């Protein structure tokens, strides 16, 4: 079972801001990561340690984490950002858990 809850779908117009939330008990006390997965491909790391971007990830992707919610923000969304997005964190049961996933549609 997933302990991190995400909205199933988010729609955004090109150039606008998309906000994806990830909710879990005391999530703000853990490091959250975010992944992008396009159809038929492996996930790609976008954000680690709440708000750090790996080399090569565009600046329009940013993250934050506080309280029970981690947030991924895509500023100036582009058509190529259409994908599924997943959060991930370390669970108190000594295991990694992933969020339920959010499908982002760029209309």
**Residues engaged in binding other proteins (CB under 8 A):** 2, 31, 33, 35, 42-45, 48-49, 52, 54, 86, 88, 90, 93-98, 100-101
Q: In angstroms, rounded to a whole number, what is the distance separating the alpha carbons of residues 6 and 29?
A: 18
Which C-beta is closer to other proteins: that of 17 or that of 97?
A: 97
Which C-beta is closer to other proteins: that of 79 or that of 96?
A: 96
Rg of the chain over Cα atoms, rounded to whole angstroms, equals 13
Which C-beta is closer to other proteins: that of 30 or that of 60?
A: 30
Report, in Å, the least distance between residue 20 CB and other proteins: 15
Report, in Å, the least distance between residue 88 CB and other proteins: 7
- By DSSP bridging, strand 102-106 and strand 9-12 are parallel
Q: In angstroms, rounded to a whole number, what is the distance separating the alpha carbons of residues 100 and 5?
A: 6
Q: Give 27-43 as a 3 state SS string.
A: HHHCCEEEEEECCCCCC
Report, in Å, the least distance between residue 2 CB and other proteins: 6
């Amino acid at each position: 079972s997933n302990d991190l809850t995400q909205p199933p779908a988010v729609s955004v117009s090109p150039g606008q801001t998309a906000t994806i939330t990830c909710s879990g008990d005391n999530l703000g006390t853990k490091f959250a990561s975010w992944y992008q997965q396009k159809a038929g491909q492996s996930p790609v790391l976008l954000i680690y340690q709440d708000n750090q971007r790996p080399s090569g990830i565009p600046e329009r992707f940013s993250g934050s984490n506080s309280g029970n919610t981690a947030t991924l923000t895509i500023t100036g969304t582009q058509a190529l950002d259409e994908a599924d997005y997943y959060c991930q964190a370390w669970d108190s049961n000594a295991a990694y858990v992933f969020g339920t996933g959010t499908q982002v549609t760029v209309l």
